[in-house]
Amino acid sequence: MDRVDYWNFPGFEDIYLEDSYLLDLQTNSQVVARVEAVLKESHPAYSPPKSGEQYAYKDILIIFPNVESYRWLGKKMTPTRDPDGRIDYGNIDELYSLKGKYYMAGDWGKIEIVSDPPTVSYAQSAAI
């Protein structure tokens, strides 16, 4: 089985994670990442970037349901405070599947997840 990058996952086609920010990551029966995500122009909720910003952002949840297991392969959850006071843990450099597992990584660490396929929630208030 070959590596499959996130933009090939259903529901992930119109987001760009490499310039998105991880705001929180919770692990229990689900792994849930709260993300300030970059929306591509093809996304139905896209609007032009706010003044001073390069991209259009929207808070989303990336949900890995029915988790069988997860394993941190490095955890460095060092918070950074943005000029607006919001805390984030850096970008999501990778999200992919390989050999029945999902991997998500960034400056904050890397996590390996065995679960059902991830989904994206565009809840009005994306909170965990």
Q: Chain-centre distance of CA 50, in angstroms?
A: 21
Give 44-98 pLDDT, tens digit per residue: 888 888 888 888 889 999 999 999 999 999 888 888 888 778 899 999 999 999 9
pLDDT(127) > 60: no
Phi, psi of 111 (to 5 degrees): -130, 140
Phi, psi of 115 (to 5 degrees): -160, 180
Give the range of the structural domain holding residue 77, as residue numbers without chain letter. Answer: 4-121
Q: Residue 48 domain-assigned?
A: yes
Question: Which one, of 79, 112, 110, 76, lies nearest residue 92 by Cα?
Answer: 110
| Average pLDDT across the chain, whole number | 90
The arithmetic mean of pLDDT across residues 23-38, rounded, is: 92
- Structural domains of the chain, count: 1
pTM for this entry = 0.90
% of residues, the chain, pLDDT over 70: 95
pLDDT of residue 89: 94
